[in-house]
C-alpha cells in the first residue's frame, strides 16, 4: 500500500494538546469515519483507503500533516484537505503578542514578567546582572515598538530642532552612542578633532557581541587605529571552520543542500569589552571626553553649531554641550534616525536574542567550530528561526537566535517572545540540560535592514547631523550588522568626513554623501525578503528553508564564491550567474519571491538592480584611472572649488567600494 503526503501545515500555537483536542473533538470532516489516535486522528474512507492526520510540536509551535494510505487518490480527499486547512486557519490565526504594560514601582522586572515569560525570567535570574539586563530587554522592545508606531504616525516624536544660534563650540564632534560610535570617534580624535562621546550605559558594556575575520579587521590596522599586537589582545578566540546548514527534512530532493563551510567568515570572536576599553583609552589619550550613563534628550541645529541636551541618569542632572557636528550612533531605535528618514527608516529588522554561556559538553559541540547560520525546523509562528553559535574566550560560547522580519505596526517583532523561544528550544538545537549551563551574559538587539533602491533612497543626515552604523541602516541584510558595515567602510567614511569638516561642508546634502551604501549589497535585499513571512499571512512551512537551501546549496558547491558573496564583495557577473543558477535549480523560486514581496517591492528591486548595473559600468569605465587623475588635481580643486573636490572624492571612493 502506498503512502502519500497530502498536507503540511504550521499552526501558530505552542500548545499541541489544545490543537489535538480540537482535532479529535471539535473538527468534523465532511466524510469518513473518525478514529482517535495518540497524536491526532485517522479517517476511514471507502475502498480500504485511509487518511492519517497527526500533529507534533517543535520550536514552540505545532505542525500538522495529512497522509493518504492507499494506492490511488480518493475523490473526497481534496475536499477534506481543503476544509481542514480552512478550519485550522480560522481556529488558530496568527497572533502577535505585545509585552504587558508593567509598573516597577512596587515589584521587580522578574515578578512583573514571570507570568508571561516564565522561562525568560527563570534564566535571567541565573545571570550576574540579570535584573538589570532584563530591564534593558524590556526597555529596548518598548522603545522599538514606539519607534515603529511613530513611523506610521503623521506626527513622530521630534528630537531635532533648528534656530539661528551662532557661537563658539565646545567640540568638533559629539557622538551619541558608545559602541560603534567609540570606534569611529577613536579614529577621528586621532586625526586631531576634539570629540565628546555620550553613552547611555556604563561605557564598555554592550548588549551584543561582535565577530569578524582577520582580513576585514586589517582595515583598522591599516588605518593605524590599532596595532597588530592590540588586535591579538582583543581576540577572544578564533575557530577553525564555520558551518551553514538549513533544515531540509521536508524539502524535495533537489532542494537538500550540502553543508556550507566558511572557515574565514566571522571566525574571530572579539572581546567587545576589551575593544571598547581600548577605544576609550585612545579617545582619552588624544584629549577626547566620554560621558557615560548619559541619555540624549534633543538637539538644536543653529547657524554654525548644534546644541545637544542630555540627562545624567544617576542624578537626572541636565547637561548641555555644543559641537560643529552631531554623529548619531544610537542604533536601531535612534529617534534622530527615525526623524530624519521618516517613513524610509527601515523596511526590515532581525530581532536577535542570545547569551554567552558555558557548559555545552564536547560531545554536543566542539568549540573549535562555529555555526554561521543554522535552522533546525521550519517556519514557527510566522518566523523562520535561525541560530548562530560562535566560540568565545575559554569555555564560553555565544549563541544567537534571530529571524528576518518585515517591519509592520501590527507586528514590530518581539525580543521577549524570542527569548522565551530561545530558552525553551535551545535543547532542541544543541542537546543540553539548561539548568547545568552557566549563564554569563545576555546578548540582544534589533538589527535593521533597508530595501535601498539607490544612493539617495534613504536620508541619513540633516544639517550638522549624520548617522552611522545601525542608525544609518545601510548594511547587508544577509550576514553583517552595523559593525561589519562600519569596519568595511571606515576608511572612506572618515576620510570623507575629514574633508567635509576641513571645508565646512556640513549641510544635509554633503553629509548625506558620507554613507556606507554599496549597490552590490543593496541588490541583495530581495534575498532577505524571501526569508520573511508577511504579517497576517501564512506560508507553507518549508518555504523559507527551501529558498535558503537553494542559495546556500549553490554556495556550498563553490567555496571561493561563497566567501566573496557572504562578505558582501560579490560583483555584477557573479551575482547574475548565481541568480540564474538558482532559478534553474528551483524554477518556482521567482514565483515564491513574488508571493512574499509583492509587485510593489519587486519593482523597487528592479530599481536596485538598475543602480547595481550602472555602478558596475562606472567601475568598468573609471576605476583604473579616475582616482589617480583626481589626486593630481587635488591642490587646484581644493583651492578653487572645495565643494566640487568633495563631490569628486565621493565618486572616487564609491568606485573602490565593493564590486
Q: What is the mean pLDDT of the chain?
A: 90
> Higher pLDDT residue, 91 or 657?
91
If DSSP states are collapsed to H, E and C, what string results for 533-563? CCCCCCCCCCHHHHHHHHHHHHHHCCHHHHH
User: What is the C-alpha to C-alpha distance for residues 60 and 552, in angstroms, rounded to an integer?
Assistant: 26
For 50-121, list the strands marked E by DSSP.
Answer: 50-58, 61-69
pLDDT at 90: 94
Q: Which residue has the cell 470532516?
A: 29
Work out the pLDDT band at 513, boundaries 50, 70, 90: very high
Tens-digit pLDDT profile for residues 466-480: 999 888 876 555 555
The verdict on residue 549 lying in a domain is no
Please indicate, yes or no, whether residues 319 and 426 belong to a single structural domain of this protein.
no
pLDDT at 265: 85
Burial-class residue 655 by CB neighbours within 10 Å (0-12, 13-18, 19+). Answer: middle
Domain of 10, in residue numbers: 3-91
Mean pLDDT in residue range 28-46:
91
The verdict on residue 597 lying in a domain is yes
Mean pLDDT in residue range 609-629:
92
User: What is the C-alpha to C-alpha distance for residues 3 and 95, in angstroms, rounded to an integer?
Assistant: 34
* Residue from 494, 566, 480 nearest 210 by CA: 480
The verdict on residue 574 lying in a domain is no
CA end-to-end distance (rounded Å), the chain: 56
CATH of the domain at 56: 3.30.310.50
Name the DSSP class of 24. Answer: I
pLDDT at 654: 86
Please indicate, yes or no, whether residues 465 and 520 belong to a single structural domain of this protein.
yes
Whether 526 shows a pLDDT value over 80: the answer reads no
Of 262-271, 290-299, 341-350, 413-422, minimum mean pLDDT range:
341-350
Whether 403 shows a pLDDT value over 80: the answer reads yes
Burial 117-142 (b: 16+ CB within 10 A, else e): bebbbebbeebeebeebbbbbbebbb
Please indicate, yes or no, whether residues 650 and 517 belong to a single structural domain of this protein.
yes
The verdict on residue 256 lying in a domain is no
User: What is the C-alpha to C-alpha distance for residues 417 and 118, in angstroms, rounded to an integer?
Assistant: 11
For 389, residues 6+ apart whose C-beta sits below 8 A from its C-beta are 365, 370, 371, 374, 397, 398, 399, 400, 430
Please indicate, yes or no, whether residues 601 and 632 belong to a single structural domain of this protein.
yes
**For residues 53 and 42, is the Cβ–Cβ distance under 8 A?**
yes
The residue from 449, 468, 484 where one domain ends is 449
* Residue from 593, 592, 590, 585 nearest 254 by CA: 585
Work out the pLDDT band at 659, boundaries 50, 70, 90: very low
Number of compact structural domains in the chain? 3
Tens-digit pLDDT profile for residues 124-168: 999 999 999 999 999 999 988 988 887 655 555 789 999 999 999
Please indicate, yes or no, whether residues 440 and 405 belong to a single structural domain of this protein.
yes
Please indicate, yes or no, whether residues 71 and 113 belong to a single structural domain of this protein.
no
Tens-digit pLDDT profile for residues 159-213: 999 999 999 999 999 999 988 899 999 999 999 999 999 999 888 877 777 888 8
Please indicate, yes or no, whether residues 228 and 319 belong to a single structural domain of this protein.
yes
Please indicate, yes or no, whether residues 189 and 303 belong to a single structural domain of this protein.
yes
Mean pLDDT in residue range 562-570:
80
Residues pairing with 90 in the sheet: none
pLDDT at 480: 52
CATH of the domain at 329: 3.50.50.60
For 131, residues 6+ apart whose C-beta sits below 8 A from its C-beta are 108, 109, 110, 124, 125
590, containing H or E segment: helix 589-622
Mean pLDDT in residue range 603-611:
88
* Residue from 592, 529, 527, 520 nearest 348 by CA: 529
pLDDT at 155: 54
Mean pLDDT in residue range 333-360:
86
Alpha carbon 197 to its chain's center: 25
Helical packing angle, 180-190 and 272-285, nearest 10°:
30
User: What is the C-alpha to C-alpha distance for residues 565 and 260, in angstroms, rounded to an integer?
Assistant: 12
For 513, residues 6+ apart whose C-beta sits below 8 A from its C-beta are 496, 646, 647, 650
The verdict on residue 377 lying in a domain is no
The verdict on residue 390 lying in a domain is no
Tens-digit pLDDT profile for residues 530-564: 788 989 988 999 999 999 999 999 999 998 888 88
Whether 274 shows a pLDDT value over 60: the answer reads yes
Query: What SS3 class is residue 82?
Result: helix
Work out the pLDDT band at 658, boundaries 50, 70, 90: very low
Backbone angles phi, psi at 273, to 5 degrees: -65, -45
User: What is the C-alpha to C-alpha distance for residues 346 and 467, in angstroms, rounded to an integer?
Assistant: 13
Whether 524 shows a pLDDT value over 70: the answer reads yes
User: What is the C-alpha to C-alpha distance for residues 610 and 352, in angstroms, rounded to an integer?
Assistant: 32
Alpha carbon 328 to its chain's center: 19
Whether the CA torsion 380, 565, 210, 436 is positive or negative: it is positive
Amino acid at each position: 500500500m502506498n503512502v502519500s503526503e497530502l498536507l503540511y501545515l504550521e499552526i501558530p500555537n505552542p500548545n499541541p494538546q489544545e490543537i489535538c483536542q480540537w482535532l479529535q473533538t471539535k473538527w468534523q470532516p465532511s466524510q469518513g469515519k473518525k478514529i482517535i489516535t495518540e497524536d491526532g486522528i485517522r479517517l476511514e474512507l471507502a475502498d480500504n483507503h485511509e487518511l492519517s492526520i497527526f500533529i507534533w510540536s517543535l520550536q514552540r509551535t505545532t505542525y500538522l500533516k495529512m497522509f493518504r494510505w492507499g494506492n490511488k487518490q480518493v475523490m473526497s480527499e481534496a475536499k477534506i484537505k481543503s476544509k481542514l486547512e480552512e478550519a485550522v486557519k480560522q481556529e488558530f490565526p496568527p497572533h502577535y503578542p505585545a509585552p504587558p504594560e508593567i509598573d516597577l514601582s512596587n515589584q521587580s522586572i522578574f515578578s512583573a514578567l514571570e507570568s508571561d515569560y516564565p522561562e525568560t525570567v527563570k534564566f535571567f535570574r541565573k545571570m550576574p546582572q540579570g535584573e538589570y539586563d532584563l530591564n534593558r530587554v524590556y526597555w529596548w522592545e518598548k522603545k522599538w515598538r514606539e519607534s515603529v508606531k511613530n513611523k506610521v504616525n503623521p506626527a513622530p516624536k521630534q528630537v531635532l530642532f533648528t534656530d539661528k544660534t551662532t557661537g563658539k563650540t565646545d567640540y568638533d564632534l559629539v557622538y551619541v552612542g558608545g559602541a560603534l560610535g567609540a570606534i569611529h570617534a577613536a579614529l577621528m580624535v586621532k586625526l586631531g578633532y576634539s570629540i565628546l562621546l555620550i553613552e547611555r550605559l556604563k561605557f564598555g558594556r554592550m548588549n551584543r557581541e561582535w565577530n569578524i575575520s582577520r582580513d576585514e579587521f586589517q582595515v583598522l590596522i591599516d588605518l593605524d587605529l590599532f596595532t597588530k599586537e592590540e588586535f591579538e589582545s582583543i581576540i577572544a578566540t578564533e575557530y577553525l571552520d564555520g558551518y551553514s546548514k538549513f533544515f531540509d527534512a521536508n524539502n524535495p530532493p533537489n532542494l537538500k543542500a550540502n553543508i556550507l563551510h566558511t572557515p574565514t567568515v566571522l571566525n574571530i570572536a572579539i572581546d567587545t569589552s576589551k575593544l571598547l576599553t581600548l577605544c576609550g583609552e585612545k579617545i582619552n589619550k588624544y584629549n577626547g571626553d566620554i560621558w557615560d550613563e548619559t541619555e540624549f534628550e534633543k538637539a538644536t541645529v543653529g547657524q554654525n553649531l548644534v546644541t545637544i541636551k542630555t540627562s545624567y541618569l544617576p542624578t537626572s542632572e541636565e547637561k548641555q554641550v555644543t559641537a560643529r557636528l552631531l554623529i548619531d550612533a544610537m542604533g536601531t531605535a535612534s529617534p534622530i534616525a527615525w526623524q530624519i528618514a521618516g517613513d524610509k527608516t527601515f523596511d526590515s529588522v532581525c530581532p536577535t536574542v542570545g547569551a554567552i554561556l558555558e557548559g555545552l559538553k564536547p560531545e554536543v559541540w566542539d568549540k573549535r567550530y562555529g555555526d554561521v547560520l543554522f535552522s533546525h525546523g521550519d517556519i514557527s509562528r510566522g518566523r523562520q528561526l535561525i541560530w548562530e553559535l560562535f566560540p568565545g574566550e575559554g569555555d564560553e560560547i555565544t549563541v544567537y537566535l534571530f529571524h528576518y522580519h518585515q517591519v509592520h505596526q501590527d507586528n514590530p517583532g518581539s525580543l521577549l517572545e524570542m527569548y522565551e523561544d530561545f530558552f525553551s528550544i535551545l535543547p532542541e538545537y544543541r542537546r543540553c540540560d539548561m539548568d547545568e549551563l552557566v549563564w554569563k551574559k545576555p546578548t540582544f538587539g534589533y538589527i535593521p535592514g533597508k530595501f535601498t533602491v539607490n544612493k539617495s533612497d534613504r536620508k541619513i543626515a540633516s544639517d550638522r547631523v549624520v548617522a552611522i552604523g545601525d542608525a544609518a541602516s545601510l548594511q547587508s541584510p544577509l550576514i553583517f550588522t552595523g559593525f561589519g558595515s562600519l569596519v568595511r567602510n571606515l576608511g572612506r567614511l572618515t576620510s570623507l568626513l575629514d574633508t567635509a569638516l576641513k571645508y565646512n561642508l556640513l549641510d544635509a546634502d554633503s553629509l548625506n554623501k558620507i554613507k556606507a551604501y554599496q549597490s552590490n549589497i543593496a541588490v541583495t535585499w530581495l534575498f532577505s525578503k524571501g526569508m520573511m513571512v508577511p504579517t497576517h499571512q501564512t506560508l507553507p512551512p518549508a518555504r523559507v528553508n527551501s529558498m535558503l537551501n537553494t542559495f546556500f546549496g549553490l554556495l556550498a558547491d563553490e567555496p571561493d564564491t561563497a566567501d566573496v558573496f557572504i562578505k558582501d564583495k560579490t560583483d555584477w557577473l557573479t551575482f547574475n550567474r548565481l541568480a540564474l543558477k538558482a532559478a534553474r535549480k528551483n524554477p518556482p523560486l521567482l514565483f515564491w519571491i513574488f508571493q512574499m514581496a509583492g509587485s510593489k517591492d519587486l519593482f523597487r528591486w528592479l530599481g536596485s538592480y538598475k543602480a547595481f548595473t550602472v555602478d558596475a559600468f562606472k567601475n568598468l569605465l573609471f576605476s583604473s584611472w579616475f582616482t589617480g587623475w583626481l589626486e593630481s588635481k587635488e591642490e587646484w580643486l581644493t583651492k578653487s572649488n572645495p565643494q566640487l573636490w568633495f563631490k569628486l572624492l565621493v565618486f572616487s571612493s564609491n568606485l573602490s567600494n565593493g564590486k
